[in-house]
Structure 1
């Protein structure tokens, strides 16, 4: 049986990581039997990240790598889509995974009101005596990465303007059909919906959680994808 190595459930989601949710969605749609195995420390994993798929032969790192492996086994996430739709799908995936994802990270790790909840959720395996200094050191490393990426250099207004443009692009597709590419979930939904769900689930109210929670179109879409795939 396949095993998905994933971050644990958190904030009411299958996993706090939208990439782990994406991998779980793909596994469910592929029809392969699989199970989850929760990890908090991915340092021994390929790329030192999760999700990772354990197959009988090897470990498959990264949600894109998992997709390629599942498609090689016969899964078709974009069956029936035109070449243009597949190109649009790829662009949407890159938009949410290479831009909106960092907004989620900043909303969680860069917010002093959210940070204590994250610390107590994700660092429970660190002994209590050293949990605060260890977690604070990791937080500083994450924030340095966000500064290098550039997302944390924008003020709140600039940041929300950039997010709004992406959300409007997603909404333009959803005005036309229940899912991004039509009447059923395809690969774009498996990336976009978990990212929006992660934005909405941050456990302290922020400008970003308010934006998603107050948008009926996006909120209904998140729930519709979840109902359509029904993770265990």
Structure 2
């Protein structure tokens, strides 16, 4: 039995973290026996992050990409039937979602004061009140410092929307009336892109970014189809 170590469910999502959602969806697609174990402290995990999976022999595999690689090595092909060209396109869409769109979500959640007020309680409410303020102020400073160094944190909301808009257009164009990015059944790209877009939509306090996805008939329906298919 595989154990998925993940952040808890929240805001209508499998997990607060879209990468944990991705890992959960990959496990569901692979049809292997598994269970989830929610945790608030990833520091003891390899790489100090979530998600991670624990195997029966005690091995722990961290990171959603490594989890995918393990599941593929043990027999599941998430991209069965895709041509080499489509597999290449799939990788590009995954990287676009995880290395670009995700950080716009992060800026929304950690940088927007209204969202941060909710996030602070949801993510860190388990901490004793005496230390919660100190810990969360440092974490927020660190996260926003990273996004600032990337450049996104230096942009206005309008500039960020303009930067991410071509990504949303590309996803809609790739769907092109299909249920999923590469046809009628979900693939690895859907586990990633669907999870990231779902996270964007699930901002606890609506933002221009979350409304952009939620009000897009194509993207919002796609997110719902992904969640239903992985249920």
Which bin holds the TM-score, normalised by the shorter protein?
over 0.9
Paired position in structure 1 for 2:67: 66
Paired position in structure 1 for 2:206: 205
Taking structure 1 as the reference length, the TM-score comes to: 0.97
Paired position in structure 2 for 1:190: 191
What per-residue deviation string (whole Å, max 9, x for no partner) do you get for residues 165-184 of structure 1?
A: 10000000112411101111
Paired position in structure 1 for 2:120: 119
Paired position in structure 2 for 1:162: 163
For the pair 1:171 / 2:188, whether they are aligned, the reply is no
What per-residue deviation string (whole Å, max 9, x for no partner) do you get for residues 105-142 of structure 1?
A: 00000011111111111112210122112111111111
Structure 1: gaps spanning 5 or more residues: none
CA RMSD of aligned residues (A): 0.9
Paired position in structure 1 for 2:24: 24
Q: The residue matched to 1:195 in structure 2 has which SS?
A: helix
**Using the alignment, how far apart are the partners of 2:15 and 2:82 within structure 1?**
29
Q: The residue matched to 1:113 in structure 2 has which SS?
A: helix
Q: The residue matched to 2:37 in structure 1 has which SS?
A: strand
Q: The residue matched to 1:159 in structure 2 has which SS?
A: helix
**Using the alignment, how far apart are the partners of 1:75 and 1:186 within structure 2?**
11
**Using the alignment, how far apart are the partners of 2:68 and 2:206 within structure 1?**
33
Q: The residue matched to 1:114 in structure 2 has which SS?
A: helix
Paired position in structure 1 for 2:80: 79
Aligned residues: 230
**Using the alignment, how far apart are the partners of 1:119 and 1:226 within structure 2?**
26
Q: The residue matched to 2:204 in structure 1 has which SS?
A: coil
Structure 2: gaps spanning 5 or more residues: none
**Using the alignment, how far apart are the partners of 1:126 and 1:6 within structure 2?**
18
Query: 4+ residue stretches of structure 1 with deviation over 4 A?
Result: none
Paired position in structure 2 for 1:97: 98
Paired position in structure 1 for 2:53: 53
**Using the alignment, how far apart are the partners of 2:117 and 2:51 within structure 1?**
24
Paired position in structure 2 for 1:150: 151
**Using the alignment, how far apart are the partners of 2:102 and 2:127 within structure 1?**
26
Q: The residue matched to 2:94 in structure 1 has which SS?
A: helix
Taking structure 2 as the reference length, the TM-score comes to: 0.97
Paired position in structure 1 for 2:12: 12
For the pair 1:39 / 2:39, whether they are aligned, the reply is yes
